[in-house]
Amino acid sequence: MERAHPHFPLVCKGASPAASGGHRLPPASAPVLLGALLAQAMAYSGPRMVTVRTDIDHVLTLDGTTIGDFIATAAAVASAPAFQVALDPEPAATALTFAFCDQFRIECAGQPRDAEALDRIAAHYLAFLRAALDDPATEVSEVDYRTMAEKQVAARLNDTARDLVHPPCLHELFEAAVDRDPDAIAVVQGETRLTFGELDARANGLARQLHGERIGILATLSVEFVVCALAVMKSGAAYVPLDPKLPEQRLRTLFRLGHLSTLLADPAYAEVAAALTDSWLPVPEDVVSHERLRGRATGTDLAYLIFTSGSTGEPKGVLLDHIGRANMITDLNERFGIVPGDRMLVVSSPSFDMSVYDLFGTLAAGATAVLPERGREQDVDHWVRLITGERVTLWHSVPSALSLLLNLLPSQVDSVLRLFLVGGDWIPVDQPERVHRAFPGAEFYSLGGATEVSVDSVIHRVPPGERYPRAIPYGRPLANQTARVLDRYGRDAALELPGELVLGGVGLGRGYDRRPELTAERFPLDPFTGAGMYRTGDAARLGPDGTIELLGRLDQQIKLDGVRIELGEIQTAIEADPRVREAVVVPRRDDSGRAVALVAFVVPEPESDAVVAGLREAVAEPGGEDLITELPERLRGVLHRSSVPGEFRLIDRIPLNANGKVDRTWLSNLAVPEPAQSEVDEYAEAVAQVWTQVLGLTTPPAAHERFAALGGGSLAATQVVSRLRRRFGADLSVRDVLTRATVSGVAEVLRIKSGVKNGAARA
């Protein structure tokens, strides 16, 4: 494609095999023309993303802040026979090359550009050229180069104001549903069925015993947790969920950072609670009250505090109020017509913010929250039985959990599931189609957001038959929420140009607990509007249709199975070992670019040749009692299980790139050594076969290969357990798969639990 701009001698070319046409540039005008181009390149990508070449051997350093600075740079090379400015395509999907060689040409490599996009690029250039001619002292950051059409798209994107009528607090949403129908079933778990009235009475009774501003809840997903959370909010306090299955040291850290006044604990975890504090309270079953506490909380008070991974080595607590969550819940319930007849299967942990809508959004609508039985929270076979037996209509989860469900569904399923809300991580592009095939008539929505804002802030509907080549669109903001893509100067980025996704609106959280500097960095005020906002760290771009597309991360944060992971936190934990000099953790990605596993590269302290030799032996021989073998066990005591790398590799030094920074690309591409061969019996063969199927491997894993290193997490482990249970009838657990880790280790457990010793065949 070739586009000639009517007001300037400019040729815009789409990707094509040959260059033709163009307009010759008067020599005297070259510095101004080239300087405007350099300013445009700086505005688009910044100096680190731009390569300026004057010939095959020379690369210029792009530096400066005013257009005049770039005119001066251009003047030094204006007589060169060829002048090229190339923008690095990452994280965008299109590379742009601006070239002068007697003519000015824009070439696009990668995703083809249409005529409208090329005209926008030309219009941007003209804006910089006008600024160069009017006042060369103009700062590049001050040039408003977007077209009027682009500004209108951005304005319409955030025209989200809606007058949603709802109580200001989460527990008041629940109480309104109680008043409408106290005899309706609120929560189901196993044989337990609590009506709205019964749940309200239990929460009222417990609330009267609570004092303080923050109250921890040590419980898994259970009726007890729901009672506690409602009671805490009714008392005017904020609840802080603590997963009792976390390592004790991790729980101690969260307990300390949470500054809890009281700890409520499920009696099933009394020993865990006692290890944390002497002043803990068991959740009572027989304390009820039909009188509610009034006026204890307002919409601007804290509803809960949830911890996320922190880059400094310690988790950070996010402070969320009632009103923002009540707005999100009311919006989704009205948007999707959630009514008392609906039933939500809750599969997210209470320490994961998706559970906020699963529980309190469901209850606010007068619908029923269906909880998996204790100990079966990740049993996918159990999910399927609940979906059919409890007539579940609503699903809300991370994509990996939905994939497990779809993989285990029978060919014919008796289901009334009507709505799938999926978010928290990258969605496989074929997942909506799989849902529409398995559940004809069901609707599929992609939801996005951040713990720091609202559970869900952005939405996109995927209708049946619609396919996307690269990624499911992120979407548009929900009611009374905002989503913007900002450039490096903090302004709205031009259409289709990458920038940082920034969320705001009524759902915006208060920031990080007792972390004022980090809060100021991530929750700045918009310098142009004065409104608060949250910098997500996600790279994104806004399309001409007003839909946001995510492109990746701008920092070292990733997600595995929907769990946010800061690579810096893991690195800090590894380097805390006195035997480690330095470490780098990188994600291993699949063909779609999704992170599937973590790999840690470790440089040991050079204490002695014998130590280094021992480390190398540990790497070559998995299972050796040395640093590489001991590190995973130590990390499991201080990190969330999803943050423990599945593979540790010893290297002599951390590689650096040309800029002196860690060369993460080189580490990510580092070749994996050939696996050792070992004898395979029936059980090891079965384990390898199931891992291959569940993890989508192209070849079966060797006996020593680790589940996590191959991309397996806790959700995938549930599918492995389910398939091996069906085949052998053994009482295999998810813990067996995650702790024994290797094919041979899991096979040995399977052999023992099947009643077979020493590799003997089953009878």
| Whether 615 and 713 share a structural domain | no
The number of angstroms, rounded, from the C-alpha of 160 to the middle of its chain's C-alpha atoms is 24
Q: Is the pLDDT of residue 93 over 70?
A: no
pLDDT score at 210:
96
Residues 115, 21 within the same domain = yes
Q: Report CA-CA distances (Å) from 651 to 582, 584, 656.
A: 10, 10, 13
Residues 13 and 135 in one domain: yes
Task: Judge if 6 and 109 occupy the same domain.
Answer: yes
719 and 654 assigned to the same domain: no
pLDDT (tens digit per residue) in 172-215: 999 999 999 999 999 999 999 999 999 999 999 999 999 999 99
Predicted confidence band of residue 745 (pLDDT cuts 50, 70, 90) = confident
Q: Does 653 or 381 have the greater pLDDT score? A: 381
- Please tell me whether the peptide bond between 91 and the residue prior to it is cis, using omega within 30 degrees of 0: yes
- Provide the pLDDT for residue 716: 82
Rounded CA Rg of the chain:
29
C-alpha distances out from residue 20 to 1, 2, 15, 614, Å:
11, 9, 12, 63
pLDDT at 77 over 70: no
- The pLDDT, as a whole number, for residue 417 is 97
The four Cα atoms 13, 16, 20, 23 give a dihedral, to 10 degrees, of 10
pLDDT band at 60 (very low <50, low <70, confident <90, very high): low
Q: Is residue 378 part of a domain?
A: no
Please identify, among 145, 180, 202, the residue that sits at the C-terminal boundary of a domain. Answer: 145
Q: Which residues pair with 133 in a beta bridge?
A: none
List pLDDT tens digits, range 359-393.
999 999 999 999 999 989 988 889 999 999 999 99
Same domain, 131 and 97: yes
Q: How many domains does the chain have?
A: 3
Q: Which tokens sit at 31?
A: 């510095």
Structure tokens at 719: 């599918």
Structural domain includes residue 399: no
Same domain, 617 and 735: no
Local structure of 337: helix, strand or coil: coil
User: Is there a contact between 175 and 157 (Cβ–Cβ < 8 Å)?
Assistant: no
Q: Tell me, what's the pLDDT at 13?
A: 45
User: Residues with Cβ < 8 Å from 359, sequence gap 6 or more?
Assistant: 226, 229, 346, 350, 369
Pair 60, 105 in one domain: yes
Tell whether 643 and 730 lie within a shared domain. Answer: no
Same domain, 647 and 688: no
Residue 64 in domain: yes
Q: pLDDT band at residue 731, thresholds of 50, 70 and 90?
A: confident
Mean pLDDT of all residues in 585-591: 76
Place of tokens 């920074």: 661
Domain that holds residue 748: 682-753
Does any domain span residue 366?
A: no
**Looking at the domain assignment, is residue 17 inside a domain?**
yes
Residue 538 within a domain: no
Whether 660 and 586 map to the same domain: the answer is yes
DSSP-assigned letters across all residues of 189-222: ETTEEEEHHHHHHHHHHHHTT--SSEEEEE--SS
Say whether both 17 and 65 belong to one domain. yes
Q: How confident is the model at residue 97 (pLDDT cuts 50, 70, 90)?
A: low
Domain boundary among 617, 638, 668: 668
Residue 157 in any domain: the answer is no
The proportion of the chain whose per-residue pLDDT surpasses 90, expressed as a percent, equals: 45
Model confidence pLDDT, tens digit, residues 106-125? 555 545 457 788 788 889 98
* Domain harbouring 605, CATH code: 3.30.300.30
Determine, yes or no, domain membership for 608: yes
The average pLDDT across 5-18 equals 41
Structural domain ending residue among the three candidates 145, 166, 189: 145
